[in-house]
Structure 1
């Protein structure tokens, strides 16, 4: 039975944790290390807070949930309707009051991230709702802000090159600086947990879900970059999250739509997949996200790793010594739903060793599934308390108990500042990789080759873009003095589109063509062949995976940007114009198209001017 106290006394208990954290002292100092005493005092206060929670509040603390709307209490009617359909609540405040969730995840498609001031207001509204509960606890607001191709908070925030681009730059200082600056901007708008960095080692060029989200294919290099980015984020009071344990880098199946099987042996896991997670743990990572993958060498049961006690408790907790928060990847993904029902998945995840349950498809089903397991004794209240303590420790460590609200006056001083944007541009220049430069085609001069055609793929734009890639690149080259014609041909150009592009190319001094994950028989390859036949020199830019050059052997020059966000395309334009030196080096090998056993360009390849 819970002994209830007044809400005022609970707020006092929360404040006491904050005071302990702020002073670094406790009321029960003993002749031991100050850090130990501080930790003991903090944990006593947190356990006191947990003791005041009802079972319903404890269950809710373990869930991190989506919610539609730009406001915690006054969303648009369409978002109210979506919330009612999905969760039976009208808005974020009602979600928190009903389910006592411990966290909220922001998505662009849920209309959470319109602009920095709106995000800050939403964050403050969510925190007011959290502190209005019977047991007042701030929420851990999270998002996926990996940079590169995965961004939820876009312009005018500072957007950096993604992981594989940073891997091409090879600078731990840049990875740290990116984390510190990006973290400071998230902190300013009330986001305190970021699901980044990706700690997967991408050893499979056909990987459909990781690819450029990984720093590369060399475990030790990935480990160094992961550790640096973790330290950068957490220096800015952001709980960093390494993902996807035990390693999602060698799969040809997307866990959003199916369940991948990793065939690495235990020895291969130790050598390939484990080093970045070990490095993240050594760097003091706050949270680690699970993968919805089968890994028979680690657990022969065929349960996904998210539901595997041998993997999450046996390996992650006991062998690697990790004591922080374990969070699932989204429970709405098919990879974790194939084997068990949505009511059992969260229960099995908790039994495996998970602490935070991310974004179940049906919150009521998941929440009631956990409650039924507690009522039956399948999950003990003590087991809930273990996870809640870990989550509260992160909330305290990242300043939520001391400072749950954000001050909008910080936004102009922090988000998208001139110095932050300049730093992102400089880092991007150090990541752009020149793979081919026949007859010293690059750099182009606006005096010698004035008229350029910018053509190619315009995939759906992530939040780090202000327009389609051809438009952004064309504008950047225009500003550098070229006369530019822009023609979008898409990722699957038709014969008519290809003919039209080739006709325009005949009158150009050079052609810049952006390709997006081209392969054998891809119409993008036919487009490039037609542009070459038109006679103008062709510069190809791989705007996502760098492997495209294997299928385009005759281009005059080839660059890899690893993404099509503005910062990387602007850097590519400066490299093309000779305003910046290409410094990137491949962080993954590129195999021959006709013989994948042979390496066309090895790790470390990259040309300079």
Structure 2
């Protein structure tokens, strides 16, 4: 598809002089563009569907990815499933190649850095037939750094095969707040040192697999009850608490050679007395991340469309203040024209210097060179078929998942369920929107997996907030069954899900609950004979839970977070490391 513009990397070594020469040929507009990573709708770089053209025109003022690159010279593009970027591996590869061709056809040819959020577990943008791994908290329950590294290496290799070279993972937040609405199972756990070890393992795995890893969300989003998508979270840790609780995973990521770190739209008064969001905070990004921790890699913002970064300042000020704070990449602004022109005006007006832009651009180009984009920006269908969703990768996912399922309650040895006479099971519970790549709602996936293991299993979705009528229906359906499996999802005190479990238990039919998201559900439930924590409702984790229920696998997982008592949250019901065995 044509020669690359500069041989900036040979055998993994970055040629900084060549990169500086490339920067020197850029116009100011091209330099500003290099700082932005933008969404774009469509499965094709040049010929998206009409609905995607309409979205692009409305939100960005262009028709396609090719027009976006030509107009704004963006340095990167982020893929989303909802933007129709990730239909299937061959399509993703073709889209990536089209984007790279557009970048290399500019006056100053530069390959683009294509990114996505492929955390695995509940956050995935690329679905089947790609290999989907257990999420972070599940890996935390498994406790194996070798499994965490293997999972990331497989995931990284598959992303690289379709042209994605920057992954916004692993999450380095330490989830010490059970009420955290945005992190939760996206975190490896509540123990800073255990999280640090798993973060380092995944950094090495992703980057050996061929993609830039991105630890997030600096300086640590684990202790908040506010979602930064919709508000401004405040973290009230002292500086000493931050150093003890939040810093270790980021320090470990830096020591492991992390390519990029993502900022958090959170306020930490102990780290910045001005109470600016960390994304816009010079004391946090320059003072702590750059100077104290010695990090000189790429710093990327979390999405600039999130409310946590937009409330205090306008959309025209946010990108300028982020660059002044020490950011390199500006991710997904709500209005690209406003953000791009604001940075351009800030340089022309003297608020930002061109030399400051050059510092960030050099870091970005070095990352692109390390990831091989100057040497080989394109991918092939043959490469996709050789790497993505292979039998060995899928087998690894199942093996890793088996070590994560955690058994918390098992009264009278209720589990494993006997398969001697093909027991008749009812599977009910919450059916939240399926993560990318799931083959169906959790109740359906779990029932199918149990049926394949020799049971007769019927699925009945009761939802995350079952009505009285739906609970009555489930109770009636339980009649004559040998056991009822209930998938629970973020059970709150006095919730209808809790009522469902207690009503089913009152029938006398043994009830087994499976927490398909946060493991804290068990504290809000009563009457069940057994409880498992699966940490997600993806196929791979539900299949693992089914094998544990059937006795085909041991429940090897151990809690990576403590579970507090419902009646007294100051007391621990189950500590970190708790888990039963058969």
Q: What range describes the TM-score normalised by the shorter chain of this pair? A: over 0.9
Which residue pairs with 1:238 in the alignment?
211
Matches within 5 A, 1:87-486: 87-448=60-421, 450-486=423-459
How far 1:447 moved relative to its partner? Answer: 1.8
> Conserved in 1, the CA contact under 8 Å of 2:6 and 2:18?
no
> Conserved in 1, the CA contact under 8 Å of 2:42 and 2:83?
yes
- Secondary structure, counterpart of 2:157 in structure 1: helix
> Conserved in 1, the CA contact under 8 Å of 2:501 and 2:527?
no
1:17 aligns with 2:8: yes
How far 1:448 moved relative to its partner? Answer: 4.6
Q: Aligned equivalents of 1:255 and 1:239: distance in 2?
A: 24
Deviations 1:270-320 (A, max 9, x none): 000000000000000000000000000000101100000000000000000
Which residue pairs with 1:50 in the alignment?
23
Which residue pairs with 1:537 in the alignment?
510
Q: Aligned equivalents of 2:23 and 2:329: distance in 1?
A: 16
Matches within 5 A, 1:518-557: 518-557=491-530
Which sections of structure 2, spanning at least 5 residues, go unmatched? none
1:588 aligns with 2:561: yes
Q: Aligned equivalents of 2:437 and 2:279: distance in 1?
A: 30
> Conserved in 1, the CA contact under 8 Å of 2:422 and 2:456?
no
Matches within 5 A, 1:483-502: 483-502=456-475
Q: Aligned equivalents of 1:441 and 1:322: distance in 2?
A: 51
How far 1:88 moved relative to its partner? Answer: 0.6
Deviations 1:433-471 (A, max 9, x none): 000110000001222561000000000111041110000
Q: Aligned equivalents of 1:455 and 1:146: distance in 2?
A: 27
Which sections of structure 1, spanning at least 5 residues, go unmatched? 1-7, 25-37
Which residue pairs with 1:35 in the alignment?
none
Which residue pairs with 1:517 in the alignment?
490
Note closer, same or farther for the CA distance 1:400–1:128 as it changes in structure 2 (3 Å cut). same
Q: Aligned equivalents of 1:361 and 1:532: distance in 2?
A: 49
How far 1:83 moved relative to its partner? Answer: 0.2
CA RMSD of aligned residues (A): 1.0
Deviations 1:489-515 (A, max 9, x none): 000100000001001112100000000
Aligned residue pairs, count: 581
How far 1:412 moved relative to its partner? Answer: 1.5
> Conserved in 1, the CA contact under 8 Å of 2:498 and 2:526?
no
How far 1:234 moved relative to its partner? Answer: 0.3
Deviations 1:85-108 (A, max 9, x none): 001100000000000000000001
- Secondary structure, counterpart of 2:225 in structure 1: coil
Q: Which stretch shows the higher mean deviation, 443-452 or 567-576?
A: 443-452
- Secondary structure, counterpart of 1:453 in structure 2: strand
- Secondary structure, counterpart of 1:600 in structure 2: strand
> Conserved in 1, the CA contact under 8 Å of 2:7 and 2:375?
no
Deviations 1:504-560 (A, max 9, x none): 112100000000000112100111011101111000000000000001132100000
Q: Aligned equivalents of 1:264 and 1:590: distance in 2?
A: 21
Q: Aligned equivalents of 2:184 and 2:49: distance in 1?
A: 36
- Secondary structure, counterpart of 2:527 in structure 1: coil
> Conserved in 2, the CA contact under 8 Å of 1:449 and 1:510?
no
Deviations 1:337-379 (A, max 9, x none): 0011101100000000000000000000000000110000100
Which residue pairs with 2:571 in the alignment?
598
Q: Aligned equivalents of 1:466 and 1:348: distance in 2?
A: 43
> Conserved in 1, the CA contact under 8 Å of 2:133 and 2:397?
yes
How far 1:45 moved relative to its partner? Answer: 0.6
> Conserved in 2, the CA contact under 8 Å of 1:204 and 1:250?
yes
Deviations 1:59-97 (A, max 9, x none): 000000000000000000000000000011000000000
Q: Aligned equivalents of 2:293 and 2:34: distance in 1?
A: 26
Q: Which stretch shows the higher mean deviation, 408-417 or 166-175?
A: 408-417
- Secondary structure, counterpart of 1:15 in structure 2: coil
Q: Aligned equivalents of 2:437 and 2:167: distance in 1?
A: 16
Q: Which stretch shows the higher mean deviation, 447-456 or 176-185?
A: 447-456
Q: Aligned equivalents of 1:373 and 1:485: distance in 2?
A: 62
Q: Aligned equivalents of 2:287 and 2:348: distance in 1?
A: 26
Q: What TM-score, normalized by structure 2, do the two folds share?
A: 0.99
Q: Among residues 24, 32, 50, which one is paired with 1:59 in the alignment?
A: 32
Q: Aligned equivalents of 2:87 and 2:490: distance in 1?
A: 30
